[in-house]
Amino acid sequence: MKGIGDLGDLRGRRVLVRADLNVPLDGDTITDDGRVKASVPTIRRLTEAGARVIVTAHLGRPKGVPDAKYSLAPVARRLSELLGQQVGLAADTVGEGAQKAVAALSDGDVAMLENLRFDPRETSKDDAERGSMAADLAALADVFVSDGFGVVHRKQASVYDIAQRLPHAAGGLVAAEVEAFSKVLDAPERPYVVVLGGSKVSDKLGVIDNLIDTVDRLLIGGGMAFTFLAAQGYGVGGSLLEADQVDTVKGYLARAAEAGVELVLPVDVVVAEDIAEDAVTDVVQATAIPQDRKGLDIGPASVDLFRGKLADARTVVWNGPMGVFEVAPFAAGTREVAVAVSQVEGTSVVGGGDSAAAVRQLGLDEDAFTHISTGGGASLELLEGKSLPGLTVLDD
């Protein structure tokens, strides 16, 4: 796919950038600005080239109509701070306000359109409706740059249809994401270890199915581990269990054994009666969880086991926390496994979503990892071996 350097001289040209700025908010305060920061290098490269930059993004899930609580105003303010220049927010998405904001741009200026999902056409399943919005967006610009990796798995007007209407290229963030995942999926150095966590095994079935025959080791933590333990015949107490996936998981256990893949489960877990900051916790064997307790993190012996399985890895992909890391008594497993991943003397890729959030929330050094993805859903679909519409449309 083309990069920004393939677009020629951009001075004076209107460049529409699709970014992923879907950040968590507490009122109008951004609680994690990682995605905003990730958008800065591409936007700055364009402004330094003299382009007139039009940033587009969505926030939350408004129901196709303007809703003040989903306004991009807090994001525009934060982006202004990070860029060191004013980012004006248009009064609407593609209407008169957007047209005025774009017309007022000079070379090197940046404007942001309001939340794309204020317009129902953005996410419509109807090709003609999406195409109509894409045409409205295209009328505002001369060039399209796709830099929102977190949305490239969506066939949406500002992601897919717009690229069919304007000269286009991948932004630096999307290019870096594609390069990182291509490296671990197409030609991984070995030993190749994948660490999967998160609450539900059903969320990771596609990843397991795609990778189980190619990895050397598969480490399973988080809530999804309890369905694996149940598939081996163990009780899991009050822990999260997807009973309807037990037979599927039995099949994966058999496939791993047949392929010679080490499938590593926790040997101990941190249990409590419920999730709370002041919870009374115990560490028990993973095969002996009390009926009245819930497993909420992997235990210290499991941390040591996982650390050992990561020690000689040359390629590691980590997707999903080891426990309820947002609550202090259940954060240690995720923290220690993340540190072990960061110490790998090879390629370490963090698969976005909760894993990326955990790295930031737990105060870990982001630079210690080879790559931290900005797109949880998009990274999962790449790991599942799927083609993503927002990427395939750039391949021409």
44 is catalytic: no
pLDDT at 35 over 80: yes
77 annotated as a binding-site residue:
no
Stronger pLDDT, 360 or 112, i.e. the higher one: 112
Does 223 belong to an annotated binding site?
Answer: no
Q: List b or e across 177-215, with b for residues whose CB sees 16 or more CB atoms inside 10 angstroms.
A: bbebbebbbeebeebbbbbbbbbebebbbebbebbbeeb
Tell me the fold of 4-175: Rossmann fold (3.40.50)
Selecting among 18, 35, 52, 294, the annotated active-site residue is 35
Q: Is 124 annotated as a binding residue?
A: no
Active-site residue identified among 88, 235, 238, 377 = 377
Give catalytic status of residue 37 as yes or no.
Answer: no
Token readout for 254 is 């058999």
pLDDT in tens, 323-361: 999 999 999 999 999 999 999 999 999 987 888 889 988
Cα 162 to Cα 154: distance, rounded to the nearest angstrom: 13
Phi-psi region of 237 (alpha: psi -120 to 50; beta: other; left: phi over 0): left
Is 326 annotated as contributing to ligand binding? yes
Q: What is the pLDDT of residues 306-329, one digit of tens each?
A: 999 999 999 999 999 999 999 999
pLDDT tens digits, 156-172: 999 999 999 999 999 99
| Per-residue pLDDT tens over the stretch 165-206 | 999 999 999 999 999 999 999 989 999 999 999 988 999 999
Average pLDDT for residues 222-237, to the nearest whole number?
A: 96
Average pLDDT over residues 71-77: 98
Structure-block tokens of residue 200? 């539900």
Distance CA(95)–CA(312), nearest Å, equals: 56
- 171 labelled as ligand-binding? no
Q: Is 117 annotated as a binding residue?
A: yes
Note whether 4-175 and 188-384 share their fold: yes
- For tokens 């002041």, the residue is 278
Confidence of residue 304 (pLDDT cuts 50, 70, 90): very high
CA 367 to chain centre: 17
Active site residue 353: yes
Q: What is the pLDDT of residue 353?
A: 80
Domain ranges of the chain: 4-175, 188-384
Percent of the chain with pLDDT over 70: 100
Assign a CATH topology to domain 188-384. Answer: Rossmann fold (3.40.50)
Q: Is 150 a catalytic residue?
A: no
Alpha-carbon distance 385 to 17, whole Å? 26
Catalytic residue among 131, 148, 353, 390: 353
**Can you give the pLDDT at residue 116?**
98
Instruction: Report the pLDDT value the prediction gives residue 288, as an integer from 0 to 100.
Output: 97
229-238 contact pairs (CB < 8 A, 24+): 229/265, 229/286, 229/287, 232/265, 234/286, 234/287, 234/289, 235/289, 235/291, 236/289, 236/295, 237/271, 237/289, 237/290, 237/291, 237/292, 237/293, 237/294, 237/295, 238/291, 238/292, 238/293, 238/294
**Tell me, what's the pLDDT at 270?**
98
Residue 8: count other Cβ atoms within 10 Å of its Cβ: 10
Predicted confidence at residue 43, as pLDDT, reads 98
Catalytic hit among 44, 155, 165, 200: 200
pTM for this prediction: 0.90
Q: Is 292 known to sit in a ligand binding site?
A: no
